[in-house]
């Protein structure tokens, strides 16, 4: 059985297994009565650290879940990647502007029995940082340094997500006593620049105190290399248009700082043995499960999970079950919108346009090698442990009475489903899929390289931007010709767009797209709000688009409910690892030509209660949320964000771009 860890941490059940007192966890809920003497020995201090990891990451069980401590898929479902669920952020019939409609992530008031919300987690980190100095004289210097380093890392991580959601927030670095009368704790919202400075200071402290790699027994804990990589992500976000009105100036110091951080992280990671995993698309697809719970050079921050079926004390990955189709006893699969199928490059790296020979009817022909590892489509091998040569079929047929049925019971709205990050050796039973142990990579080395490429592009250094994009494409087997298919880029805007495009492909379904669309404000252009990035980059705004469904349907009305294509499909077997893969794809094309017509073309997957199509509409004030009414009611001195109304209905005054 796997070791059970949470981003490098022993699961909370393991704490009780080594005999901690039963009220330990209960004590942690109350900082006023908590026995700080635990910091006098390493075992109990270790329990404390593990519990905080648990509070941060226990909900992180799928790669499309985002926001530490919260981990839901709201943001991932607000992008082009997944249709069928219209979140409030993109619902065209909803307008969010009141405080009671703002994001509730900020949390509630701290009390004697604090809930697991951002400022409770910050307080927990602050408590160790303060008390370990007072009580930890008997701790070894090495243990104390690593304990503090992890707290700095966790605190920086928490403030980063508060920054991304709210812009400026109060900065608290000491343990405060909750009081309605103490003016010293009534901290205002800090400016984003101040929050970023605090986050960077925390990651710098973490980098100075943590090892570049832990021993195997502690694999997964935060490292100095990860802290440096997080600096790159934070500073890239701060340099982006969302927070940087001067983003269009290639000499803007924020781009240089982000670049310096990225290059420093690259050097440190390389020195510590990190890098791109594998040298072809097959190995690219295997990286999530081949080095199970062991060091993986691509994984900078990793969520380790277990395949155990124990009733408690384990954490499993829910992704495998969610993406597997019904025939494989999965939850039904994630239908791939046409927009995603039409996104990936061709095999030579060129964009999939009609001029380049692309025909969306045959979307499966001549594509980027990553395409065949990101999606499974009709006729494609997608094996499981029990059925290694299982073939997925995703079509329907009509029969008498205008009724329809679906191949193998797989009722989806696309001829392709998401398969990325699945384990073909996983069990095919419902229980087995529910207990997947596939690890989640929260931060990959490839993302760091893309961060660096983006900084070079924004600074106008197109050649170096292409060099770093080339590293991403070379690894999966795209030919080097014509700059790995990228072509000739003549402006920094083209270079930035090329990087953002590559991020959509390389990091698809890893919970990153929303944050890229947010920091570049890609949902719309609004000159009045200082937002013209879509026009500058030559990108169509996401607003007004839809997640489109498309169905493969048998051309002829079937005489009964039985599958009329069982015999015709027998010889179809598409395996990207096969030496005759191109022939297999052409056989599938013949099958489509002979038996399939396309239904539901260009029909949005998303509908309202009356079955009317819904098109994405993300409003300008959503890029940065206002504070929720609950937060304002217990912290009445805090300013509301511009674009949102405060607790009393007055317009907000806090400007997150200053």
DSSP string, 408-466: GG---SSSEEE-TT--TTS--SHHHHHTB---EEEEEHHHHHHHHHHHHHHTT-HHHHH
Query: Residue 202 in 3-state DSSP?
Result: helix
DSSP string, 119-185: HHHHHHHHHHHHHHHHH-TTS-HHHHHHHHHHHHHHHHHHHHHHHHHHSS-----S-PPP-SS-GGG
pLDDT of residue 34: 61
**HEC profile of 224-241:** HHHHHHHHHHHHHHHHCC
Residue 359 lies in a domain: yes
Instruction: List 380's β-bridge partners, or say none.
Output: 392, 574
Instruction: List 303's β-bridge partners, or say none.
Output: 440
pLDDT of residue 68: 97
Cα 17 to Cα 10, 11, 14, 22, distances in angstroms:
11, 10, 5, 11
Average pLDDT, the chain: 92
Per residue in 251-293, pLDDT tens?
Answer: 999 999 999 999 999 999 999 999 999 999 999 999 999 988 8
Residue 474 lies in a domain: no
CA–CA separation, 130 and 126 (whole Å): 6
Residue 341 lies in a domain: yes
How do 416-418 and 380-381 pair as beta strands? unpaired
CA–CA separation, 420 and 376 (whole Å): 9
Per residue in 462-488, pLDDT tens?
Answer: 999 999 999 999 999 999 999 999 999
pLDDT of residue 111: 53
Query: Residue 3 in 3-state DSSP?
Result: coil
CA–CA separation, 549 and 69 (whole Å): 33
> The whole model's pTM is what?
0.95
Residue ranges of alpha helices (H) inside 459-571 are 462-475, 481-484, 492-506, 513-519, 533-537
Cα 60 to Cα 190, 219, 275, distances in angstroms:
28, 18, 24
Query: Residue 515 in 3-state DSSP?
Result: helix
Is the separation of the CB atoms in 395 and 553 below 8 Å? yes
Residue 372 lies in a domain: yes
Q: Phi then psi for 378, rounded to 5 degrees?
A: -50, 130
CA–CA separation, 114 and 154 (whole Å): 18
Residue for token pair 């402006």 = 491
Q: Number of structural domains, the chain?
A: 1
645, two tokens: 């109304």
CA–CA separation, 155 and 172 (whole Å): 10
pLDDT of residue 428: 73
Residue 393 lies in a domain: yes
Residue for token pair 């500073």 = 235
CA–CA separation, 415 and 337 (whole Å): 9
CA–CA separation, 225 and 503 (whole Å): 22
> By residue range, what is the domain housing residue 410?
319-436+548-604
101, two tokens: 């409609």
Q: What share of the chain is helix, strand, coil (3-state, %, to 5)?
A: 40, 10, 50
pLDDT of residue 109: 65
pLDDT of residue 272: 97
Residue 580 lies in a domain: yes
Ranges of residues in the chain whose predicted pLDDT is under 50: 1-29, 31-33, 112
The DSSP call for residue 628 is: P
Residue 199 lies in a domain: no
How do 548-554 and 440-444 pair as beta strands? unpaired
Residue 265 lies in a domain: no
């Amino acid at each position: 059985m796997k070791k059970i860890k949470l981003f490098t941490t022993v699961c909370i059940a393991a704490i009780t297994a080594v005999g901690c007192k039963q009220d330990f966890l209960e004590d942690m809920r109350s900082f006023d009565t908590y026995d700080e003497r635990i910091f006098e020995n390493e075992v109990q201090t270790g329990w404390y650290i593990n519990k905080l990891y648990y509070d941060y990451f226990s909900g992180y069980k799928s790669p499309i879940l985002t926001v530490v401590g919260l981990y839901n898929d709201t943001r991932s479902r607000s992008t082009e990647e997944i249709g069928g669920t219209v979140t409030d952020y993109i619902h065209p019939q909803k307008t969010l502007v009141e405080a009671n409609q703002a994001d509730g992530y900020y949390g509630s008031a701290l009390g004697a029995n604090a809930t697991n919300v951002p400022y409770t987690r910050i307080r927990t980190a602050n408590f160790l940082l303060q008390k370990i100095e007072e009580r930890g004289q008997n701790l070894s210097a090495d243990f104390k340094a690593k304990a503090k380093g992890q707290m700095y890392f966790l605190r920086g991580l928490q403030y980063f997500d508060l920054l991304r959601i709210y812009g400026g927030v109060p900065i608290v670095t000491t343990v405060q006593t909750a009081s309605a009368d103490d003016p010293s704790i009534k901290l205002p919202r800090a400016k984003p620049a101040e929050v970023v400075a605090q986050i960077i200071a925390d990651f710098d402290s973490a980098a100075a105190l943590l090892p570049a790699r832990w021993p195997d027994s502690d694999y997964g804990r935060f490292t100095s290399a990860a802290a440096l990589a997080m600096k790159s992500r934070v500073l890239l976000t701060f340099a982006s248009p969302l927070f940087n009105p001067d983003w269009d100036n290639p000499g803007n110091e924020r781009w240089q700082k982000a670049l310096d951080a990225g290059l420093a992280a690259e050097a440190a990671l390389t020195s510590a043995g990190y890098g791109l995993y594998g040298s072809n698309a097959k190995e690219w697809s295997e990286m999530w499960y081949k080095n199970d719970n062991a060091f993986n050079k691509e994984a900078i921050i990793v969520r380790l999970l277990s395949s155990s079926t124990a009733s408690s004390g384990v954490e499993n990955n829910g992704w495998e079950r969610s993406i597997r189709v019904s025939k494989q006893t999965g939850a039904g699969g994630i239908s791939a919108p046409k927009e995603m199928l039409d996104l990936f490059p061709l095999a030579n790296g060129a964009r999939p346009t009609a001029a380049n020979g692309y025909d969306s009817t045959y979307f499966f022909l001549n594509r980027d090698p990553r395409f065949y590892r990101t999606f499974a489509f009709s006729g494609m091998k997608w094996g499981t442990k029990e059925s290694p040569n299982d073939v997925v079929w995703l079509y329907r047929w009509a029969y008498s009475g205008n009724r329809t049925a679906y191949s193998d019971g797989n009722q989806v709205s696309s001829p392709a489903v998401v398969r990325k990050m699945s384990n073909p050796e996983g069990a095919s039973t419902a229980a087995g899929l529910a207990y997947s142990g596939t690890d989640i990579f929260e931060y990959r080395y490839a993302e760091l390289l893309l961060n660096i490429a983006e900084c070079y592009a924004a600074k106008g250094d197109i050649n170096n931007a292409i060099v770093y994009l080339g590293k991403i494409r070379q690894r999966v087997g795209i030919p080097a010709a014509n700059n790995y298919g990228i072509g000739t880029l003549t402006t920094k805007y083209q270079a930035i767009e090329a990087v953002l495009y590559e991020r959509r492909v390389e990091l698809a379904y890893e919970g990153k797209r929303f944050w890229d669309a947010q920091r570049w404000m890609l949902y719309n252009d609004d000159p009045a709000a200082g937002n013209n990035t879509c026009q500058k980059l030559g990108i169509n705004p996401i607003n007004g688009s839809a997640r489109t469904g498309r169905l493969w349907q048998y051309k002829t009305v079937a005489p009964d409910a039985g599958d009329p294509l069982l015999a015709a499909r027998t010889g179809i077997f598409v395996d990207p690892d096969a030496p005759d893969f191109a022939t297999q794809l052409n056989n599938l094309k013949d099958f489509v030509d002979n038996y399939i017509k396309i239904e539901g073309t260009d029909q949005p997957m998303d509908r309202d209660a009356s079955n009317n199509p819904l098109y994405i509409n993300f409003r300008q004030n959503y890029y940065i949320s206002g504070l929720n009414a609950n937060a304002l009611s217990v912290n009445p001195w805090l300013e509301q964000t511009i674009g949102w109304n405060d607790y009393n209905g007055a317009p907000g005054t806090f400007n997150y771009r200053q």
